[in-house]
Amino acid sequence: DQQVKQNSPSLSVQEGRISILNCDYTNSMFDYFLWYKKYPAEGPTFLISISSIKDKNEDGRFTVFLNKSAKHLSLHIVPSQPGDSAVYFCAASRNYGQNFVFGPGTRLSVLP
Amino acid sequence: DAGVIQSPRHEVTEMGQEVTLRCKPISGHNSLFWYRQTMMRGLELLIYFNNNVPIDDSGMPEDRFSAKMPNASFSTLKIQPSEPRDSAVYFCASSPPGTGANVLTFGAGSRLTVL
């Protein structure tokens, strides 16, 4: 009954290539989505967000795409760098609220 | 700003003991959240406070868990008695007032090991 799913526990990508991390959600009331990055022994840090009124948000090498009809969002990292190796969490909330539901995370490894 | 401060960073205790985790949110943030991270379930929300008032504690696993926020700059998460299955990393996070652009700022976490 997970409301936010990240079906790939891990992903390996070559340096310089594109990384695509996927996230699916079940609750159609979610209207605000975040991606967090987490390094070992540190707390998650905010990466990028998107609201349901948009289908794309870009910040440097990071772009988040939202497909509301499919209840799917993805994070694209181009080009991928070894420093991007981390666990990435997708999170969603309702009514632009602060009560975020997190997915289980995807571990990204960028190989030099 | 020192960010969200959690203590202790590591705690090893024996089953049956009481454990208290502490959190100091960012000054000016009015919402505080306790999350638990495990390999199996990822990041789970345990409880969150708004203006020091508990708003949603539906994620608290059972009565052994309790959380308080006596003032805007301090919160505790207590487990009594602790059990081995409580072993996890517990994160505290805070967020500022307002809507639409809220993000959570996390502390570095408290790693709890219950033997």
Q: What is the pLDDT of residue B1?
A: 63
Tracing tokens 């390094």 back to the chain, one arrives at A39
Phi, psi of B84 (to 5 degrees): -55, -35
Q: Which residues of A touch B93 (CB under 8 A)?
A: 43
What average pLDDT does this structure show over B65-87? 96
Distance from CA of B6 to the nearest CA of A (A): 10
Q: What confidence score (pLDDT) does residue A46 get?
A: 92
Q: Which residue of B has its CA nearest to A47?
A: B103
Closest CA–CA distance from residue A98 to any residue of chain B (Å): 7
Chain B residue closest in CA terms to A41: B108
Residue scoring higher pLDDT (A103 or B1)? A103
As given in the structure block, the two tokens for residue B91 are 């994160």
**pLDDT computed for residue A1 by the predictor:** 67
B50 chain-A contacts, CB cut-off 8 A: 98
Residue-level pLDDT at A71:
97
Question: Among residues B27, B10, B2, B3, which one has the least CA distance to residue B109?
Answer: B10
Confidence of residue B98 (pLDDT cuts 50, 70, 90): confident
Average pLDDT estimate for B99-110? 80
Q: B99 vs A76, which has greater pLDDT?
A: A76
The two three-digit tokens of residue A55, written as one number? 């289908």
Interface with chain B: mutation pick from A21, A98, A101, A107, highest number of B CBs within 10 Å: A98
pLDDT of residue B115: 96
With CA atoms as reference, the chain A residue closest to B102 would be: A98
Question: Looking at this protein, which amino acid is placed at residue B43?
Answer: L
B82 min Cα distance to partner chain A (Å): 23
Largest CA distance in chain B: 43
Chain B residues within 8 A of A34 when measuring between CB atoms = 103-104
SS3 A12: strand
Low-confidence residues of chain A, pLDDT below 70? 1, 96
pLDDT above 50: residue B100:
no
What is the tens place of the pLDDT at every residue in B10-65?
A: 999 999 999 999 999 999 999 999 999 987 778 899 999 999 999 989 889 889 99
pLDDT of residue B99: 56
A42 part of contact set with chain B, CB < 8 Å: yes
Q: Please tell me the distance from the alpha carbon of residue A13 to that of residue B3, in angstroms, as a whole number.
A: 32
Higher-confidence residue of B96 and B15: namely: B15
Q: What is the chain B residue with the closest CA to A87?
A: B42
Q: Does A101 touch chain B (CB under 8 A)?
A: yes
